[in-house]
Amino acid sequence: MPESSSTPTAGPFSMPLRVRYVECDMQGRVYNAHYLTWVDMAHTEAIDELFGGYREIVAAGVDLVVAAADLQFRAPAHFDDRLQVHTTIHAPGHTSLRSDFTIARDETVLAECRMVHVCVDATTYEKQPWPAWLRAKLPGTG
């Protein structure tokens, strides 16, 4: 899934996570949709570290929308597991931004995800190139 590349990256950023009971299904495992929630949470944390916060980006007229998400499950998570969600953000394309995520319990990889976000105008939601000020803070462009 996430693969190594010569493209400059930011990160990995890491977010600790403790599995809540409500996130588990009748089989005692984390329900699959929660993994994407965790990925979104970790992406938000990485955006905060890179840009000072998602609200600042939107206030400057830029927003990010998900264009694609590919999630591969490797092993189950259970109630009260202590996990880490690792995020790597790659150099941006003209309008897109790829991020790779690994969800792990200790050394065991539970899931891997690749997500692509597209840069849009925060008012019209029309696709737009990354503004120069934002691009300068992204990996491989500064």
Q: What residue ranges do the domains of the chain occupy?
A: 9-135
Q: What is the pLDDT along the chain (142 residues), one digit of tens a residue?
A: 544 444 656 668 999 999 999 999 999 999 999 999 999 999 999 999 888 888 999 999 999 999 999 999 999 999 999 999 999 999 889 999 999 999 999 999 999 999 999 999 999 999 999 998 888 887 665 5
Instruction: Please name the amino acid found at residue 24.
Output: C
Contact, 39 vs 115, CB < 8 A? yes
CA gap 34, 12 in Å, rounded: 21
**9-135 belongs to CATH 2.60.120.260:** no
CA atoms of 77 and 122, how far apart (whole Å): 36
pTM comes to 0.88
**Length of the chain measured in residues:** 142
